[in-house]
Structure 1
Amino acid sequence: MTISKFTCGAFLLSLGLLGGCTAKFLDEAPADQITDANFYQTQQDAIQAVTAAYSELTKEGQYNAAMWAFDIWADISSTGGDDGNDGIEYKQLEAFSIPTTNFIATRLWGGSFIALQRANIVIQKVPGIANMDPVIQKRCIGEAQFLRAKMYFDLVRAYGDVPLFKAPPTSPTAVNIPRTPAADVYKQIEQDLTDAIGNLPLSYSGDDLGRATKWAATGLLAKVYITEGKKTEAAQRAREVINNSGKTMWANYADNFKVENGNNNAKESLFEIQYVSGRNQYDRNQVGSAMNEFFGPRGANQTPGSGYGFNTPDPDFVSGYEAGDTRRAATVWAPGDTYPDGSKVASKATGSPFGYSCRKWFVGKVNTNIWDSGLHVPVLRLAEMYLIVAEAVGPTTEGLEAINKVRRRSFGLDYTVPSAAHDLTAATGNFTNAVLRERKYELAFEFDRWFDMKRAGTLYPTLTDHAFIPRMTQQAATLKGIAPNVHGIPTQNNLVLPIPQTEIDTNPGLVQNPGY
């Protein structure tokens, strides 16, 4: 079955595909032989249908493969791994030589459309369920609106114009619609999130922890607005989260990335991907995160499979940390660092000639299963809300205080207390660049950097003063085994991914992006 057939809604006729549960609230296993005709009758049916949409977040089409590419494609990391074709799907992106059959482009499209069509079913069917608590009914619709918006936000940023489905297709052929202008897709995203804010609760407890809240929807809307350049609206929504959500930043940056700090203890996180360990092995489409293994230092015997060394931090990125920035130690393994078993990080490794590897998603040998970490992945954090305010209002008193809160915490200081040593001031040159730089180091390996560079205009055409050039020329032969000045220079066509060839072949209404 092609990805296109998944997106057409045929998969929705059998809820046997609702598997892929994550945290406790995703543990409801569907009964066999349930069809669209006899489902959507009870409150449990509604909750289970929403669970199906959430489940795609943990898989290859989202945070277990596809989203990893957006730091490799930017100036954070290189593919790493072994030599030859290991990670070829990422190397194609990294070299800006991307076929229309690229695995990442295909899976991001497919996984996103599966999730949003499942959300469409919820939005269509759940209002008609009579035997249901109206509070839960409203919440389920809000969750589906949030998830549909999240998926379309990823799609429109990655591909540009995409087919816009406001309801599930009624037949396999009904999926064959043309691409909708990005501006209209953004309007729908804004509407969905505005509606979700009105439908979602402030918080959850017990087994429902991890579901989207009002503050997750508000924070995502702030991010959508800043992406669109709607700074007034972005600042307003980010302020709402900062002032009213009850969230605070961890005193220690690294505490955001500890297994024990998920959900109940997630004081800074607004929404996170729910991973669970101990349930699968060698499967990126189940409930465990593969990042501990894939990003773990290659061959260092620090993870159940000894580490694959993917997403290796680039030297330019690592050298950009300011002295005393605690985020470096939480994000990067560097030569001389000490592993949990007491051994030292070597000066170089296969796939990482400078010895760096990603530490942010490292949990070590917490169990014997491979590709099976339970570390949640934050999608939105309070720190990002401060940075959105700073970007939106500029070097005003409010903007400076917002970015300085993030900076103070990065140096291990009380983020509420001014610091003469580390605070930016009104005299700081190019404040917008300062905010984007802060985002680069605050959100590294949280898969935002390529999107930030794209909206800031530093992917193209301002290539001559960007880190792509030194990385892709001076280090090309070492990092990628290719000659300098031959590959790896982005062009205007690389502002979007190619539409997957499977989609072009199946849907005559689709037109490929330029340059592919």
Structure 2
Amino acid sequence: MKKIFLSLSLACALVTLGGCEKDLDQTPISNGSVPDFYKTAADFDQAMSAVYSSLRGYPDREVILSELRSDNMFAVSSIGSRDWDPVNNFSAALLVVNPYVADAWASDYSTIFRANTMLAQLAENGAVTGSLRTRYEGEAKFIRAFMYFDLVRKFGRVPVIDKPLIPQDVAKIGRSEVSAVYNLIEDDLKAAINALPAAYTASGVGSTSGVGRVTNGAAKGMLALMYLTKSGPNYGIDGPGLASNEYGKANTLLDELINRTGTPVSAAYSLQSSYANIFSPTNENNSEVLFDIQYISNGLGTLGSSFMNVVVPDIYYTSPTLLALPFSAGSVEIKPVSNDLNNVSYDTTRTRRDLRRAVNIQQGYTNAGTTDPRPFYKKYLNVAAKGTSRTDWGTNFIVLRYTDILMMKAECEVRNVGGSAASAAARLTPIRTRAGQPAFTTLTLETLMEERRREFAGENLRWNDLMRSGLALTTMNAWASREDPTTLPNGQRRDYKIVRPIPAELLLYPVPQVELSSAPGVYTQNNGY
């Protein structure tokens, strides 16, 4: 099995943009270095790995900007001024200058730059030909589409840049309409479907061929999700929902994945028998995985995952009475799972206990006589994948899996596209059985979204699910009243943390202030900021 990663030296030689870059800079600092790099097929192979490697921080950003923002977490910090507090609280003024928001914009465009450079060099350079060139084009277009899909769901209108540009030219490009962003995503994913193989083997084309690269099945699944998202309501904002009613297009792609039909035919995906086994580091790239971000703990903290460092309090895995990992001491801060998810959504009765809850959530901890009962995510926490630091875990992060394909198909069916509420309920039966839960007899959109909430807790899907389904405002405002009350159980009064009511304008993130300042007059800010 091969993991897709890139050494730090190669990353610096290829492109100097990184996750902490704070503007939409579409060219490397070392002028002329990129074209000179692409001389041989091996160079292209390393460059393709560089495109993959730029996804390393994606799960870390998503848990803050998607999972934490949803009703799955109520993560007010103990001091009330951590960078994630404004995300949790929908604090408009602070989000404009929030480093997580700025990093999402800059990091996505950094990855887009790498993909654009790869595509431009493939078009101009004859070092790679035939099926290998076709495959590289498919991989680069998939990742470019993936990043634009992330941008449009967070910010709505964004600049569309489909080739590597110098900073002076980038500074002239304003934000495109959402429909134009979707046109690029759709074109790229359709091209990727036709260009990518169903699966890889160690003997396939390319020196880095192997498990971990994107496939046509991943492209089909991502395109189906795009159609569902685009078909969602617009909430009166320039957001990802265009009410385009493209559920039929999504349903066709999902049927092809489930039934292994269509051209090209995708790999055979299937459910794992055990929920916990999906996320085990000893069972990576299993039959349920369509697309994941690959990590390897290399002892340097440069190729491993830092996702655990975001969701698990440091003291939990450094304490000698808990996991006893030899990491340096850090913060005791917890980003708690919401009471609503932990104790209301999951069935915790003895006879019908939902098996997913124990896999997903740690119910607090006791250390040195001190108990913190607050729950937090532990889904990807496995000592077998540890490296040498809190930011060096070897477990891959799954972005798209087969359960999601089945549930997206059920989403079409509850809308009477490709089936009915009854067939949607039946489709979820093996998923419910695996969780130790009884089958549904019928299904509504609201029930389906709550089931997705339990299934994908900690996988950073909940916020986008709420937006796509049209339930974001009603669900979040009702939840905030329960989770963030002004009267505590002891009768004490306090100010609420989350904005009341959450307005539609704040369903989008703002254009980061650093981007507005870097191109004065080019970008307009989203309403509400």
TM-score w.r.t. the length of structure 1 is 0.82
8 A Cα contact 2:155 2:508, kept in partner: yes
Give the TM-score normalised by structure 2.
0.81
Among 369, 380, 383, the alignment partner of 2:403 is 383
Match of 1:132 in 2: 128
1:44 aligns with 2:34: no
Aligned mates of 2:76, 2:125 — CA distance in 1: 50
Q: Which residue of 1 aligns with 2:60?
A: 64
Partner of 1:240: 256
The count of corresponding residues between Structure 1 and Structure 2 is: 462
Deviation readout 1:196-218 (Å, 9 max, x if unpaired): 00011111123532111111111
Q: Name the residue aligned to 1:89.
A: 83
Distance in 2, matches of 1:476 and 1:38, equals 63
CA RMSD of aligned residues (A): 2.8
How far off is 1:254 after superposition? 0.9
Q: Structure 2 CA distance, aligned partners of 1:68 and 1:327?
A: 22
The corresponding residue for 1:364 is 383
Q: Which residue of 1 aligns with 2:240?
A: none
The residue that corresponds to 1:408 in the other structure is 433
- Post-superposition shift, 1:289? 1.3
Q: What residue is the counterpart of 2:119 in the other structure?
A: 123
Q: What residue is the counterpart of 1:224 in the other structure? A: 226
SS state at 2:42 partner: helix
2:71 to 75, 79, 92: 75
TM-aligned CA deviation for residue 346 of structure 1:
9.2
Shift of 1:138: 0.6
CA contact (8 A) 1:116 1:151 kept: yes
Are 2:109 and 2:147, in contact at CA under 8 Å, matched by a contact in 1? yes
Cα distance, 1:41 vs. partner? 2.6
* Residue 114, structure 1, aligned to residue 113, structure 2: no
| Secondary structure of 2:527's aligned partner | coil
Instruction: State the Cα distance separating 1:157 from its structure 2 match.
Output: 0.4
Partners of 1:139 and 1:94 in 2: how far apart?
Answer: 40
1:169 aligns with 2:186: no
Q: Output one character per residue of 1:47-98: Cα deviation in whole Å (capped at 9) or x when no partner.
A: 2222222112112xx223354331111100133665453xx22111111114
What fraction of aligned residue pairs are identical, expressed as a percent? 26
Asked if 1 retains the 8 angstrom alpha-carbon contact of 2:486 and 2:494, the reply is: no
Structure 1 counterpart of 2:281, one-letter code? V
Rate the CA distance shift 1:237–1:175 in 2: closer, same or farther, 3 A.
Answer: farther
Following superposition, the deviation at residue 129 of structure 1 comes to 2.7
- Structure 2 equivalent of residue 199 of structure 1: 195
Are residue 456 (structure 1) and residue 480 (structure 2) matched?
no
CA distance in structure 2 between the aligned counterparts of 1:476 and 1:255, rounded to whole angstroms: 39
Q: 1:343-394, CA deviations, whole angstroms, 9 ceiling, x for partnerless residues?
A: 8999952xxxx42121102123734422111111000000000000000111
Q: Do the aligned partners of 2:122 and 2:133 also contact (CA within 8 Å) in 1?
A: yes
> For residues 166 and 218 of structure 1, what CA distance do their matches in structure 2 show?
21
State the AA in 1 paired with 2:272. W
State the one-letter code of the partner of 1:448.
Answer: L
**Counterpart residue identity of residue 405, structure 2:** M
**How is 1:251-400 mapped onto 2 (pairs within 5 angstroms)?**
251-263=273-285, 266-281=286-301, 286-300=302-316, 301=319, 302=323, 303=325, 304-305=327-328, 308=332, 310-319=334-343, 320-322=345-347, 323-334=352-363, 348-349=371-372, 354-364=373-383, 366-394=386-414, 395-400=420-425
Cα deviations by residue, 1:98-142 (Å, 9 ceiling, x for unpaired): 421101110000000000121111222213332324111111100
Whole-Å separation in 2 of the counterparts to 1:239 and 1:35: 45
- The runs of 5 or more residues in structure 2 that have no matched partner are 1-16, 203-207, 232-245, 261-266, 415-419
Q: Name the SS of the counterpart of 1:272 in structure 2.
A: strand
Q: Structure 1 residues 308, 125: closer, same or farther in 2, change over 3 A?
A: farther
Q: CA separation in 1, counterparts of 2:497 and 2:26? A: 45
How do 1:411-422 residues align onto structure 2 when only pairs under 5 Å count? Answer: 411=436, 422=438
Q: 1:433 and 1:211, CA in 2 relative to 1: closer, same or farther beyond 3 A? A: same
Contact 1:295–1:362 (Cα < 8 Å) also in 2: no
- For the residues of structure 2 that align with 1:477 and 1:367, how far apart are their CA atoms? 42
Deviations 1:14-67 (A, max 9, x none): 6xxxxxxxxxxxxxxxxxxx81332323222222222222112112xx223354
Structure 1 portions without partners, runs of 5+ = 15-33, 337-342, 412-420
Q: 1:7 aligns with which of 11, 24, 41?
A: 24
